[in-house]
């Protein structure tokens, strides 16, 4: 925040976006823009779209496995991504990106960053939110708040316009779609309803293009690009670029190099062609919009303004469809890529006690319940309930002496437990008593992050029991702790690895330069001196092959010392040579 | 929602939400009903604008966003107070839920209200259920399907109208209740009147829920 206005911190090149790409290279992990080029050079070891894997198991992404060049496995209900020798959970990959952002902010502000507000799609379920929080912890950040992206956008928007009334925030990003309907009144931002699809975004449009191009390449050149991961990534990136260009142009050219030197594939792509492919995906965003309106008890004419967020809303067809649905042109003057971050900054300022006139009242996007007899879901907290929200449920026993009750927590809108998302299971401890006598009250509390907390109280004794919840699609507390430790350990390892790499590079440069000097000017010094330099050179070569960067630096200093005279002599010599044939007047 | 003793400084709390001595937020008591929580009398007609204004005011008082820099004890209180406040507002905002809640307060748990069809509609509803079954089994595009659909649509309109009638009857009873409360008489006649109103409200709520369920079913089937 600067003078009551949020701003986005640029990196040292002035860029405000860090692409969420992480690459494992031979020299270690790299993140952001430099990692992007590894998408095609190193596709098996470069992760993008990690947000799609947060809080999920392998079965959840079964249909799209073919599109990802990296190797995915599952341990304990959590996807693991294999990069080189190690496997990483999505929160760990996400933490690497957060660390990168953290270091940019630290460099810019000149202070340590220890706390963060992190944004997530509004339609993220509990597991996805928890995974995001874990990522923050692993990155060494205290997560003050998980805030929904469309509501964050509304904060930035409301701050700027001091708007009153009902707004719809249509947030169509790379991987997810959200719609939130809010009432803005006297600084209160009350979310009336939210809906969405955490598996619908610009990536889906890219895939439609990729499928089209791959089919055409196969027809025209008889090559299956699908079996060349690096070229697959080129097709994907070029398809994305073509799609982006078509937001401003009516036609564009798509071109890629074919594998095995089979030449180039080029094709004209018109906006009409893109739109006829994209219409299905875009239409899928409209059903959640209607559902949110219905849940808010509103009709399109009740919406005063429509705000667009997310890169995919740059597409003219998206704007047309949104305008047709709400009956008014959407507002898109704010940069759709930055508005969410700006809103998160406003929220952080509120939490820090800076802003006191604005308050966001958000809702839980999905109904929360428990599995009851017959595999039916019994709803405890309905979707679109304002958070924090709590519900209490009394449990007892059916058998004499029973010492535990198993509880299965679910999230979703379907009747049957199996059709909803399993969040966690836990076993309620009950004192051995005749059936029906124990009375344990369980409180389900969804906090302001949209994350569930469970506590239980024995109504007979008034004692509270701590509950160890086993997440269905999440890391356990101990696993997160280990990852936090690892992350610090690896941070130290990363630094020493980088030091070694840099020392080796410097040593190589120095050795090369000294070799050259010896060849060119060895005759100008005594043979004893030359022998000294050669000895220092071989000492440095030995140190360079070992792994201690300090030893390398020390041998480098020795070599520089031994070669000092040689360099002076060489410089004199070259000056002399340079002077020959020049007039005195030219020299002075 | 004041409690007798401050959890922090142990002095007597007379203020509404905060201890006057140490200015710590106080937990909303477990026994506080939603009307008291939002500072409204136990009435069935509430001005939605005033209710909202009070909800916003109390949200500014209790929301966890404003306790991030406070102690963890205060954060816990703020979290649970905000959760109670949100439930209170959600319940009182909707006239039907408000009435159900008031019934529960005045006469015991609402969960005992069984949804039941109004006696005079019993035959009609049985017939309707049959028609619904037939329609589900029929080919929607056949003449038979069209005929059944028309019948169901007519039935839907009739039931919607019946629901509206019930709601206006309820509205009248709500007003009666509020007036009786406002008079505040403690006579036996007033007690009889009170019981009559509550009984009628309960009955109407039960019928209305029944009809509402059928209407939802109807809407889903012929959509």
Taking the Cβ of residue A277 and every Cβ of chain B, the question of whether any pair is shorter than 8 Å is answered with: no
Structural domain contains residue A230: yes
Q: Where are the alpha helices (DSSP H) in chain B?
A: 34-37, 48-62, 72-93, 95-107, 122-137, 143-183, 188-222
Question: Is pLDDT above 80 for B116?
Answer: no
Structural domain contains residue B207: yes
Among the listed residues A366, A369, A368, A370, the one whose alpha carbon sits nearest the alpha carbon of residue A384: A366
Q: Which residues of A fall within a CB distance of 8 Å from B84?
A: 390
Structural domain contains residue B18: yes
β-pairing, A188-197 with A177-185?
A: antiparallel
- Does A64 lie in the same domain as A16? yes
Domain boundary, last residue among B93, B120, B153: B93
- In this structure, of A128-132, B19-23, B36-40, B166-170, the range with the lowest mean pLDDT score is B19-23
Structure tokens at A402: 């029973």
In tens digits, chain A (588 residues) has pLDDT values of 887 788 899 887 888 888 888 988 877 788 888 888 788 888 888 898 899 899 999 998 888 888 888 889 999 889 999 988 889 999 999 999 999 899 889 989 999 999 999 999 999 999 999 999 999 999 999 999 999 999 999 998 887 667 789 999 999 988 899 999 999 998 999 999 999 998 899 999 999 999 999 999 999 988 898 888 888 889 999 999 999 999 999 999 999 889 888 888 999 999 999 999 999 999 999 999 999 999 999 999 999 999 999 999 999 999 999 999 999 999 877 788 889 999 999 999 999 988 888 999 999 999 999 998 888 899 999 999 999 999 999 999 888 989 889 999 999 998 888 899 999 998 988 889 999 899 999 999 999 999 999 999 998 888 888 777 778 888 888 888 888 888 777 666 666 666 777 788 788 888 998 998 888 888 888 889 999 999 999 999 999 888 888 889 899 999 998 888 888 888 888 777 766 655 544 444
Facing residues of A440 across strands?
A: A395, A458
Q: Nearest-CA distance from B56 to chain A in Å?
A: 7
β-pairing, A86-88 with A421-429?
A: unpaired
Measured between CA atoms, the residue of chain A closest to residue B57 is A188
Structural domain contains residue B127: yes
Q: What is the rounded average pLDDT of the residues B14-39?
A: 80
> For A494, what's the count of Cα atoms within 13 Å in the CB-facing half-sphere?
13
Question: Is pLDDT above 60 for B221?
Answer: yes
Write the ipTM: 0.87
- Does B122 lie in the same domain as B50? no
Among the listed residues A545, A547, A536, A548, the one whose alpha carbon sits nearest the alpha carbon of residue A511: A536
Structure tokens at A549: 């960067």
Among the listed residues A463, A464, A462, A461, the one whose alpha carbon sits nearest the alpha carbon of residue A453: A464
Q: Which residues of B fall within a CB distance of 8 Å from A388?
A: 64, 79-80, 82-83, 86
DSSP, collapsed to helix, strand or coil, labels residue A29 as strand
Q: What is the rounded average pLDDT of the residues B37-47?
A: 91
Q: Which residues of A fall within a CB distance of 8 Å from B59?
A: 188, 359, 361
Contact A67, A229 (CB under 8 A): no
Eight-class DSSP state of A2? B
Burial of B72 (0-12, 13-18, 19+ CB in 10 A): exposed
Interface test with B, best of A186, A295, A448, A449 (most B CBs within 10 A): A448
DSSP, collapsed to helix, strand or coil, labels residue A266 as strand
Taking the Cβ of residue A506 and every Cβ of chain B, the question of whether any pair is shorter than 8 Å is answered with: no
Domain boundary, last residue among A281, A306, A325: A281
Structural domain contains residue A482: no
Structural domain contains residue B101: no
- Does B202 lie in the same domain as B176? yes
Among the listed residues B102, B103, B138, the one whose alpha carbon sits nearest the alpha carbon of residue B222: B138
- Does B81 lie in the same domain as B27? yes
φ, ψ for residue A186 (rounded to 5)?
Answer: 50, 45
- Does A67 lie in the same domain as A17? yes
* Cα separation values, B46 from A212, A284, A501, B32, Å: 60, 40, 72, 19
Structure tokens at A132: 């995001």
R_g of chain B, CA atoms, integer Å: 24
In the sheet that holds A46-47, the strands lie side by side as: A28-31, A22-25, A46-47
Contact A76, A479 (CB under 8 A): yes
- Does A12 lie in the same domain as A93? yes
- Does A470 lie in the same domain as A492? no
- Does A467 lie in the same domain as A494? no
In chain A, the number of structural domains is 4
Contact A408, A422 (CB under 8 A): yes
Structure tokens at A573: 């010599």
Contact A542, A559 (CB under 8 A): no
Contact A159, A177 (CB under 8 A): no
Q: Which residues of B fall within a CB distance of 8 Å from A351?
A: 65, 68-69
Which domain range does residue B50 map to?
1-93
Q: Which residues of A fall within a CB distance of 8 Å from B68?
A: 144, 351-353
Measured between CA atoms, the residue of chain A closest to residue B78 is A388
The predicted pLDDT at position A324 comes to 95
Among the listed residues B203, B171, B177, the one whose alpha carbon sits nearest the alpha carbon of residue B190: B177
- Does B74 lie in the same domain as B133? no
Domain boundary, last residue among A440, A475, A510: A475
- Does A517 lie in the same domain as A417? no
Structural domain contains residue B99: no
- Does A411 lie in the same domain as A443? yes
- Does B179 lie in the same domain as B81? no
Tell me the residue ranges of DSSP E strands in A67-114: 71-75, 78-83, 86-88
Domain boundary, last residue among A71, A91, A113: A113
Q: What is the rounded average pLDDT of the residues B87-112?
A: 85
Structural domain contains residue A50: yes
SS3 of A282-344: HHCCHHHHHHHHHHHCCCHHHCCEEEEECHHHHCHHHHHHHHHHHCCCCECCCCCCCHHHHHH
Residues near B142 by beta carbon (within 8 Å), at least 6 away in sequence: none
Please state, in angstroms and rounded to a whole number, the distance separating the CA atoms of residues A352 and B68: 7
Please state, in angstroms and rounded to a whole number, the distance separating the CA atoms of residues A81 and A45: 9
Residues near A351 by beta carbon (within 8 Å), at least 6 away in sequence: A117, A144, A145, B65, B68, B69
Structural domain contains residue A105: yes
CB contact under 8 A, B65 and A360: yes
Structure tokens at B80: 């649970």
The predicted pLDDT at position B110 comes to 53
CB contact under 8 A, B69 and A448: no
Q: Nearest-CA distance from A387 to chain B in Å?
A: 7
Contact B148, B135 (CB under 8 A): yes
Contact A26, A19 (CB under 8 A): no
Structural domain contains residue A563: yes
The predicted pLDDT at position B2 comes to 43
Residues near B204 by beta carbon (within 8 Å), at least 6 away in sequence: B166, B169, B170, B173
Q: Which residues of B fall within a CB distance of 8 Å from A448?
A: 63-65, 79, 82
pLDDT-based confidence at residue B1 (cuts at 50, 70, 90)? very low
- Does B3 lie in the same domain as B63? yes
In this complex, which of B56, B68, B86 lies closest to A351 when CB atoms are compared?
B68
- Does B216 lie in the same domain as B117? yes
State the first-to-last Cα distance of chain B, in angstroms, to the nearest integer: 47
Q: Which residues of B fall within a CB distance of 8 Å from A361?
A: 59, 63
Please state, in angstroms and rounded to a whole number, the distance separating the CA atoms of residues A116 and B222: 50
Please state, in angstroms and rounded to a whole number, the distance separating the CA atoms of residues A228 and A225: 5
Measured between CA atoms, the residue of chain A closest to residue B65 is A351
- Does B131 lie in the same domain as B79? no
In chain B, the number of structural domains is 2
- Does A106 lie in the same domain as A8? yes
Across the A/B interface, how many CB contacts are shorter than 8 Å?
Answer: 57
- Does B122 lie in the same domain as B77? no
Question: What is the rounded average pLDDT for all residues in chain B?
Answer: 86
Structural domain contains residue B104: no
- Does A514 lie in the same domain as A465? no
- Does A108 lie in the same domain as A4? yes
Buried b (16+ CB within 10 A) or exposed e, A320-347: ebbeebbeeebebebebebbbbbbbbbb
Structural domain contains residue A287: no
- Does B8 lie in the same domain as B56? yes
Taking the Cβ of residue A351 and every Cβ of chain B, the question of whether any pair is shorter than 8 Å is answered with: yes
Structural domain contains residue B98: no
Kindly write down the DSSP assignment for every residue of A453-471, as one continuous string.
EEEEEETTT--EE----EE
CB contact under 8 A, B60 and A447: no
Structural domain contains residue A89: yes
- Does B22 lie in the same domain as B52? yes
Contact A433, A454 (CB under 8 A): no
Please state, in angstroms and rounded to a whole number, the distance separating the CA atoms of residues B114 and B109: 11
Instruction: Give the domain CATH number at B51.
Output: 1.10.287.110
- Does B126 lie in the same domain as B59? no
Residues near A329 by beta carbon (within 8 Å), at least 6 away in sequence: A306, A319, A323
Provide the total of helices (H) and of strands (E) in chain A, helices listed first: 16, 24
Structural domain contains residue B87: yes
The predicted pLDDT at position A353 comes to 87
Which domain range does residue A270 map to?
202-281
Structure tokens at A332: 């898109």
CB contact under 8 A, B65 and A188: no
């Amino acid at each position: 925040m600067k003078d009551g206005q949020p701003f986005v911190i640029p990196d040292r090149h002035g860029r405000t976006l860090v692409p969420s790409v992480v690459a494992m290279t031979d020299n270690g992990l790299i993140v952001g823009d430099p990692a992007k080029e590894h998408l095609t050079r190193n596709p098996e070891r470069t992760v993008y779209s990690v947000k799609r894997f947060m809080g999920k198991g392998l079965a959840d992404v079964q249909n799209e496995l073919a599109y990802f060049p990296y190797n995915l496995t599952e341990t304990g209900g959590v996807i693991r991504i294999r990069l080189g020798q190690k496997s990483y959970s999505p929160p760990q990959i996400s933490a690497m990106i957060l660390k990168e952002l953290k270091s940019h902010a630290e460099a810019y502000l000149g202070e340590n960053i220890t706390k963060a507000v992190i944004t997530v799609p509004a339609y993220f379920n509990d597991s996805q939110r928890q995974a995001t929080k874990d990522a923050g912890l692993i990155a060494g950040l205290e997560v003050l708040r998980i805030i929904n992206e469309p509501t964050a956008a509304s904060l930035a928007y409301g701050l700027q316009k001091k708007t009153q009334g009902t707004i719809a925030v249509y947030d169509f990003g790379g991987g997810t779609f959200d719609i939130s309907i809010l009432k803005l009144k006297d600084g209160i931002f009350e979310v009336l309803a939210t809906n969405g699809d955490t598996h619908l975004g610009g990536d889906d449009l890219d895939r439609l293009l990729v499928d089209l191009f791959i089919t055409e390449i196969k027809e025209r050149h008889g090559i299956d690009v699908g079996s060349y991961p690096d070229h697959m990534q080129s097709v994907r990136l070029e398809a994305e670029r073509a799609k982006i260009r078509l937001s401003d142009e009516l036609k564009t050219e798509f071109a890629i190099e074919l594998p095995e030197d089979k030449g180039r594939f080029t094709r004209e792509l018109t906006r009409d062609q893109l739109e006829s492919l994209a219409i299905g995906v875009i239409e899928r965003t409209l059903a959640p919009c209607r559902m949110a309106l219905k849940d808010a008890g509103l009709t399109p004419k009740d919406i005063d303004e429509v705000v667009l967020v997310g890169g995919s809303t740059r597409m003219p067809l998206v704007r047309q469809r949104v305008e047709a649905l709400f009956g008014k042109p959407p507002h898109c003057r704010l940069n759709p890529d930055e508005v969410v971050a700006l809103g998160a900054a406003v929220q952080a300022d509120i939490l820090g006690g800076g802003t006191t006139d604005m308050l966001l009242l958000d809702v839980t996007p999905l109904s929360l319940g428990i599995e009851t007899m017959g595999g039916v879901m019994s709803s405890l907290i309905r979707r679109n309930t304002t958070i924090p929200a709590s519900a209490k449920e009394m449990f007892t026993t059916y058998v004499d002496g029973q010492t535990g009750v198993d509880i299965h927590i679910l999230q979703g809108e379907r009747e049957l437990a199996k059709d909803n998302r399993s969040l966690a299971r836990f076993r309620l401890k009950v004192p051995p008593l005749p059936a029906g006598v124990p009375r344990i009250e369980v409180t389900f509390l969804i906090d302001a992050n949209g994350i569930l907390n469970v506590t239980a109280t024995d109504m007979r004794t008034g004692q509270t029991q701590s509950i160890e919840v086993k997440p269905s699609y999440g890391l356990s507390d101990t696993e997160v702790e280990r990852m936090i430790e690892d992350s610090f350990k690896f941070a130290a390892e990363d630094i020493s690895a980088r030091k070694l790499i840099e020392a080796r590079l410097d040593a190589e440069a120095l050795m090369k330069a000294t070799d050259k000097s010896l060849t060119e000017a060895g005759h100008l010094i005594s043979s004893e001196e030359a022998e000294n330099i050669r000895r220092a050179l071989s000492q440095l070569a030995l140190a360079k092959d070992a792994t201690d960067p300090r030893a390398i630096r020390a041998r480098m200093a020795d070599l520089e010392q031994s070669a000092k005279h040689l360099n002076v002599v060489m410089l004199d010599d070259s000056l002399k040579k340079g002077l020959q044939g020049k007039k005195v007047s030219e020299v002075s | 929602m004041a409690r007798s003793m401050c959890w922090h400084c142990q002095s007597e709390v007379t203020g509404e939400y905060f201890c006057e001595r140490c200015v710590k937020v106080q937990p909303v008591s477990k026994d506080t009903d939603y009307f008291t929580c939002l500072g409204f009398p136990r009435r069935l007609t509430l001005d939605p604008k005033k209710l909202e204004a009070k909800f916003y005011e109390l949200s500014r008082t209790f929301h966890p966003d404003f306790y991030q820099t406070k102690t963890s004890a205060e954060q816990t209180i703020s979290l649970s107070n905000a959760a109670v406040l949100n439930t209170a507002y959600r319940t009182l905002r909707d006239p039907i839920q408000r009435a159900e809640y008031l019934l529960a307060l005045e006469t015991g748990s609402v969960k005992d209200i069984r949804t039941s069809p109004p006696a005079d509609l019993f035959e009609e509803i049985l017939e309707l259920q049959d028609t619904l079954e037939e329609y589900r089994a029929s080919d929607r595009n056949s003449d038979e399907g069209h005929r059944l659909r028309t019948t169901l649509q007519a039935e839907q309109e009739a039931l919607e109208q019946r629901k509206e009638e019930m709601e206006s009857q309820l509205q009248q009873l709500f007003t009666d209740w509020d007036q009786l409360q406002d008079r505040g008489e403690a006579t036996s006649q007033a007690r009889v009147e009170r019981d009559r109103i509550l009984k009628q409200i309960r009955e109407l709520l039960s019928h209305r829920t029944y009809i509402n369920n059928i209407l939802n079913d109807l809407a889903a089937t012929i959509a």
